[in-house]
Chains A and B, each alone.
Chain A
């Protein structure tokens, strides 16, 4: 049963056809890699999935329900969470509050309960604080819970961003170049973390990445984009030897 499915997805910016006829589906617990040369349209796919852009044609279905035209925050509440290519944390906010902010939409207490510290406030804040600490523990950044997010080292900032995305309780997690700027040790650590997330939270993961070792090592299924079209897909082995893929990356014929 696929969690997220796109059919015939396309968008053009003026005369430029940025994406055309993109279709793929992700199942629960699956990790799919989205690769392709620079400018192929990978991040645009993410932006369509989270409705930063409105697709000019095609459908996006989450659990069989179309999500096209919903607001970004609604899509997040419906179960698609993302991280960004260049980390976007709430920098001057503590690590734990970064996570708590993402849990906001599950909290119910009213403005008045918050202002006057009514029982609903105490109860929910206590719960959320517990859950946030648990989530941070999974990523090993619980000791830094009360530091400013900007003071974390780079690798941990990446982790925090993933933790924040997970805090929204997603069914699908979109990771935009999670390993960018990481050294080999950090990359290996990140691979383990992502597998762990998949198993622990039972979610589908779609990731964009340029580090081929990373992609080949972690994704069951790889989709290759070039000039806005899918030129190949399949297992790591299939994609690696596909002449079209080699041509797209190295130039050919």
Chain B
């Protein structure tokens, strides 16, 4: 038992160290101008997509339900946060974090309103009802005066200035790390176990004394909250938001990240989010062919790894090191198991 906790501490410390090293490395490079504004924006988008993918993973991976309206929650969060920072008379440094929280809370509220009726359904039916929700939200935002209709909101200020591109990076990076952290700890807490039980067998979960409606809603609302925060970050990152940025394609894009990474695998979602955000940008040189290549990559992954890159397992550095230490024989065995 004592040995296990020691191992845990080591893994916590290494993970923390990696996070800090990554942060300071990028911070330094951005600060020095080695990474220009195009790339630093790309890095920020990667982090935002990681947040979105990991939050969707909470519903799709842990709860095992297909949700096609994640962009809807993102839209609600983005508009709430943007409207708050646009209209409140506070310095942005103060207004921005409050706006993010408001964005998350409003999205969570919508999650609850949608979730109570929708979560009676499952599988395809839930997918369609959430798809409908996403579209309804978008159309409403297209027609309200407060959202400024199809023109959208502009002049949403970023924390970045022309001289300093680091504040936004600091925000998105640490929020991404935080979201990953709570996703992991939630998944291994009693609440996460209850949610996973519902994924595995709802009837058996109910018969084991799990209040299934409550736990479904919990996962759903938590995911909506995080998507709302991500929306707030997104709005302040790009400065102009209009409803078309949160259409059905956006929801699918997030879902693809989760499916590609392996449903239920947090690290898988992270890797897929990073790759799928950078890939379309990296393929810009191929102009018209880039979406073709993007699709081919998706098809190949699904053909050769139907459960996604990592399946349901997690990539862990300590395990990886253990594997290397214990040699190739064991590694081969593990590969066989996964396939």
Contact = CB atoms under 8 A, between A and B. Distances in A.
Contacts of B212: 73
Nearest to A97: B193
Nearest to A87: B204
A64 to B, nearest CB: 21
B190 interface: yes
Interface stretch (A4-12, A99-107, A219-227): A99-107
Interface in A81-122: 81-82, 84, 88-93, 97, 100-102, 104-105, 107, 109, 111, 113-117, 121
A121 B192 CA distance: 13
B208 interface: yes
B196 interface: yes
A164 interface: yes
B156 interface: no
Given A73-B211, A93-B200, A114-B189, A101 B218 contact: no
Nearest to A88: B204
A82 B204 CA distance: 9
A168 interface: yes
Contact of A114 (B191, B200, B312): B191
Given A90-B197, A93-B196, A104 B207 contact: no
A88 B211 CA distance: 17
B200 A168 contact: no
A144 interface: no
Chain A: number of interface residues, binned into ranges: 35 or more
B301 interface: no
A201 B208 CA distance: 18
Contacts of B205: 90, 101
Nearest to A101: B197
Nearest to A150: B200
Contacts of A157: none
B190 A117 contact: no
B203 interface: yes
A76 interface: yes
A89 B197 CA distance: 9
Contacts, number: 96
A44 interface: no
A156 interface: no
A225 B206 CA distance: 27
Interface string A53-84: 00000000000000000011100110001101
B215 to A, nearest CB: 9
B218 A116 contact: no
Contact of A84 (B189, B204, B209): B204
B210 interface: yes
B190 A104 contact: yes
B182 interface: yes
Contacts of B322: none
B194 interface: yes
Contact of B209 (A89, A105, A116, A128): A105
Nearest to B200: A90
Contact of B193 (A89, A91, A104, A121): A104
Given A90-B200, A97-B193, A114 B209 contact: no
A84 B182 CA distance: 34
A117 B192 CA distance: 13
Contacts of A107: 190
Given A111-B218, A115-B182, A100 B209 contact: no
B32 interface: no
Given A114-B186, A114-B190, A90 B196 contact: yes
Given A101-B208, A104-B209, A164-B208, A114 B192 contact: yes
Contacts of A90: 196-197, 200-201, 204-205
A76 B185 CA distance: 27
A167 B193 CA distance: 15
B176 to A, nearest CB: 16
B193 A76 contact: no
Contacts of B211: 71, 73, 105
Interface string A226-237: 000000000000
B190 A168 contact: no
A89 B194 contact: no
Contacts of B201: 88-91
Interface in B101-148: none
B329 to A, nearest CB: 21
Nearest to A161: B204
Given A73-B208, A76-B209, A81-B208, 5 more contacts: A72-B207, A77-B209, A88-B201, A91-B201, A100-B193
